[in-house]
Structure 1
């Protein structure tokens, strides 16, 4: 029996057609295209799916704004990861806004995961998180932050509500909880050193 291998790389302009396959035509990810944290609420509501898709396409044409995963040769997942400053909504959210003592300089944020339905529970999200951390490190990050949900506290979380990742996923990547802004949400950090 052979085991499938998950490969992760920065989502550059060259892999755009494969990234489109990951996002697909249906589901929450096909409507968001990872623009939730980049647009104001009114801009987000006013934008069509096609406009959000085009925004991600434009963003990824200039720099890798996330990582893509392949299971063997099939594109199966995506994780958004950029400097915290690239996500203006994070600073306004009561969950993710900065508080005294929070790092700002050289801080990168992992905001979202997409794993195609037929490829879940095969280690893709863990591989994406490792790839996101490496992408952040190569971009100069000294700290990487995530904003996962905690199904242990709220087991009724739907798959759609888990797009932030889960506390156990981030723990498996070496992240630690630094704050609990709500019972089912955590701010988790990984210090990459100087």
Structure 2
């Protein structure tokens, strides 16, 4: 599985775009842009904005490819550039310029192959390459309960734990009836105490 920056709009559209270009689907914009703009942006204008984001530096996330076929998506960006910067339900823990990883999507027909794990790892690598000191995620703490796949975009706590993230805080946010937790992965070099090896 090859995970790389989401710079090719057609590949992003294949994973998160609508079959009908006039449909008002999320396009993974609901946490990326202010609520009012998200409500006002309709139909093809949503895809046009995502196309602009794909041409920006950094692009809006990463894509997993199986050969040439795009099969998964993860949205990641500096928290300060998302609506999480002002989210009252998901706490801000400190002043570090953390990056937020908030959406993981695997195309139907490709699930159950570890793609979500590859996307988390690829998103972390992408954030590290862009200087992120810490990556945050806000997955569902479903405790083994079944989650509606359309609402599992935030990811599941065990998948982030498997990638080395640790529980940093509880939140008052819920999704599909499950609480969301704030998980963190520190990317800063380990500090060595003087006189110890």
Q: Once the two structures are superposed, what CA deviation does each residue of 1:125-156 show, in whole Å capped at 9, x if it has no partner? A: 10000000000000001100000012217x35
What secondary structure, in the 3-state scheme, does the structure 1 residue paired with 2:109 have?
Answer: helix
The separation in 2 between residues aligned to 1:95 and 1:125, in whole angstroms, is 25
Which sections of structure 1, spanning at least 5 residues, go unmatched? 1-5
Q: Partner residue of 2:192?
A: none
User: CA offset at residue 103 of structure 1?
Assistant: 3.2
TM-score by length of 2: 0.84
User: CA offset at residue 30 of structure 1?
Assistant: 7.3
Q: Once the two structures are superposed, what CA deviation does each residue of 1:5-48 show, in whole Å capped at 9, x if it has no partner? A: x1101112xx2212211124259x97111111122323222221
TM-score by length of 1: 0.85
The separation in 2 between residues aligned to 1:56 and 1:174, in whole angstroms, is 30
Which structure has the larger Rg? 2
Corresponding pairs, count: 181
Q: Partner residue of 2:67?
A: 72
Give RMSD over aligned pairs: 2.1
More helix by percentage? 1
Q: Partner residue of 1:162?
A: 152
The separation in 1 between residues aligned to 2:126 and 2:62, in whole angstroms, is 8
Q: Once the two structures are superposed, what CA deviation does each residue of 1:46-91 show, in whole Å capped at 9, x if it has no partner? A: 221322211111112112220010123311011011111110x112
Which sections of structure 2, spanning at least 5 residues, go unmatched? 173-177, 190-197
Q: Does 1:141 align with 2:126?
A: no
